[in-house]
Amino acid sequence: MTNDTLLSVKDLKVYFPAGDGIARAVDGVSFEVRRDETVCLVGESGCGKTVSALSILRLNPVPPAEIAGGRIMFDGQSLLKLDEESMRRLRGKHIAMVFQEPLTSLNPVFTIGDQIGEAVSIHENIGTEALHRRCVQLLKSVGMPFPEQRLKDYPHQLSGGQRQRVMIAMALACAPRLIIADEPTTALDVTVQAQILQLFKSIQKKRSMSLLYITHDLGVVANIADRVYVMYAGAIVEQGNTVQIFRHACHPYTQGLLASLPSRLKRGKRLYSIPGVVPNPAFKPKGCPFHPRCPYAEPVCREEFPEMCDYGDGHLARCPVLFDKRDL
């Protein structure tokens, strides 16, 4: 952990009861976010990316969730040890979150102005006039046209893209040092998605803050990330910067994901597809969770949970089989 590290998650384990057994949704996940950096957590549904992100803000309901182990350090504080009151002061002020579905995360009976205002006034003592000016300025900073009028609108009067802008404005309200965005553009059209991604980038440049961006869309990752963590079945399987991940993927899962992306350049060729399905978190296969779907699986993969192998320059992949085969 360097001085540069803003958030570090170490060996986090989050379990849920599932019938008779337990679902190990997050099973020993470690990652860090440095200052002024955009980190992407990428993986398919059910891989534990959202649960990992929610645990940072302690938003997973406990019970049923159980933090079975690990440590989350934010700016020198251990978040899992904080009391609820300090946690509440931290949420929104230092770490803010943007959710996937802007319509369900905005309150339908309050105006946009009320909701952005609330985000500010919870953490700051601020007069009505100043609050109003602050809200207008926040909406302006997220590229909302006619911010003055929009403040009086209710969420249903806005389009999907505008709602997501409001969510981002709320997240920015107290100038947090970290924004966690959980699939913020998945529900949006491509053209609107491109606008929102550009907005995230420009905000980050201007305000010097870190962004933890959760998505399943590799196209978005390549576009926005500095560093990437690829998750599969509750574990990080590969990490590195965007060039390392997209040009020199070293884990069979990452390689498979990239090869299975359709594009017009692959016309006429058969798409590679990873056989099988993502394992149920309650019945994960023994050994490497990816081995039933892996073209390189060897007997050892069925027995032992693989170690992270270091390819240098911060590029790590959890596949000793391919690591041994790398040409040096």
Partner 1 sequence: MNSKTNRANHIILRVEGLKKYFPVRRGFFQKIAAWNKAVDGVSFEIQQGKTLGLVGESGCGKTTVARLILKLLESDAGKIVFRGTDISKLAENDMKLYRKDMQIVFQDPYGSLNPRMTVGLSIEEGLRILGIKNAPKRKERLEKLLQMVGMSPESADRYPHEFSGGQRQRIGIARALSVEPLLIICDEPVSALDVSIQAQIINLLKDLQDRLGLSYLFISHDLNVVGYLCNTIAVMYKGCIMEFAPAEQLFENPRHPYTISLLAAIPDPEPGNTPDLHLPERDLPDSSIPIFGCSFQGRCTLEETRCREERTTLAQVGEEHFVRCWKAAQNKIPKVS
Identify the residue among 179, 218, 294, 322 touching partner 1 (CB under 8 A).
218
Q: How many residues does the chain have?
A: 328
Residues 112-141 that bind partner 1 (CB under 8 A): none
Residue matched to tokens 């574990």: 235
Q: Which of residues 240-279 bind partner 1 (CB under 8 A)?
A: 242-243, 246-247, 256-258, 260-264, 266-267, 270-275, 277-278
Two tokens, residue 45? 């549904």
Indicate the residue among 130 and 243 with the shorter CB distance to partner 1: 243
Nearer to partner 1 among residue 176 and residue 252 (C-beta) = 252
Q: Residue 76 or residue 275: which is nearer to partner 1 going by CB?
A: 275
> Which of 92/161 has CB closer to partner 1?
161
Size, binding site for partner 1 by CB under 8 A: 47
Strands 95-98 and 77-78: unpaired
User: Can residue 217 be called a binding residue for partner 1 (CB under 8 A)?
Assistant: yes
Q: Which two tokens stand for residue 158?
A: 């806005």
Q: Which residues, 6+ apart, have CB-to-CB distance to 31 below 8 Å?
A: 8, 9, 39, 41, 52, 229, 236, 239
Tokens of 146: 């006619």
> For partner 1, which stretch binds (CB under 8 A), given 86-94, 171-179, 216-224, 308-316?
216-224
Q: How far is CA 186 from CA 28, 143, 228, 278, in A?
A: 27, 20, 18, 20
Secondary structure (3-state) at 148: helix
User: 145 vs 314, which CB is nearer to partner 1?
Assistant: 145
Beta carbon of residue 155, minimum distance to partner 1 (angstroms, whole number): 14
Q: Strand order of the sheet with strand 95-98?
A: 95-98, 178-182, 210-215, 38-42, 227-232, 235-241, 316-317, 309-310
- Site residues for partner 1, window 150-209 (CB under 8 A)? 159-162, 189-195, 197-198
Q: Compute the least distance from the CB of residue 142 to partner 1, in Å.
A: 10
Interacting residue ranges for partner 1, rule: CB under 8 A: 44-45, 143, 145, 159-162, 189-195, 197-198, 216-223, 242-243, 246-247, 256-258, 260-264, 266-267, 270-275, 277-278
